[in-house]
Amino acid sequence: MDQNSATDNRQRTTDNKVFSLNLDLIDYQKAWDLQQSLVAARVTNLIENDILLFLEHPAVFTLGRRGGLDNLLVSEAYLKEAGIPIIQVERGGVITYHGPGQIVVYPIMNLHTRRIGVKDFVAALEEAMLQTVGEFDIAAQRNPINSGIWVGHRKMGSIGIALRKGISFHGLALNVNLDLTPFSWIQPCGLQGVSMTSMKELADEDLPMDKVLEVLKDKLAAALGISYKKCRLADLERLMVG
């Protein structure tokens, strides 16, 4: 092993910061595949740092472990004509919608190493969203019926996670400037009498996505007790091959 490689290995071993990667707008399937690869790399310790992915998705409906097609209020043919796919995934929850204007965060984190239980982890993600919208003078709260953040009976931020050998994936989705129309095509969370809202709807104006993202990053760091190290996708891909 040459000196540079040895130095790099020491840095990887001693650096406990969380890699922060902005992916901008990325296809859901591509992001899902990336999560699978990153989780495998964390499980085998090819990547020794936890990772937070920040992104948006093109329009897509996803089904959690509890399914959700029975909560679809339009036909699958209607969605096909609209060009919106439906994808089954392994996160918790039922059916939800992702689209541009919604900030999605996928934390690839070793909860066992960090000694944080799933309940506390979800609470930390909720707290980060609550603190974020509060910075924009929006008052939201938790709801004992369903995870996420709420304004009355309207849901503004959703959480659905999965675990593989102690490594978390999937995560949170915060509605910022999202077009809420597709949510009217489903029964969100499988709950009756629930509708969705957004920061834009309550603020009555478009909000700067980059500013909301930076606030959310800061609030996540505080809630999870972490600090960030910026990285590129190429950096993670290099680590994944060993």
Strand partners, 164: 167
Residues belonging to the active site: 189
Task: State the pairing for strand pair 146-151/102-108.
Answer: unpaired
186, β-bridge pairs: 72
Q: How far apart are CA 130 and CA 190, in angstroms?
A: 23
**HEC profile of 47-87:** CCCCEEEEEECCCEEEEECCECHHHECCCHHHHHHHCCCEE
| Length of the chain (residues) | 242
- Give the Cα separation of 226 and 220 in Å (integer): 8
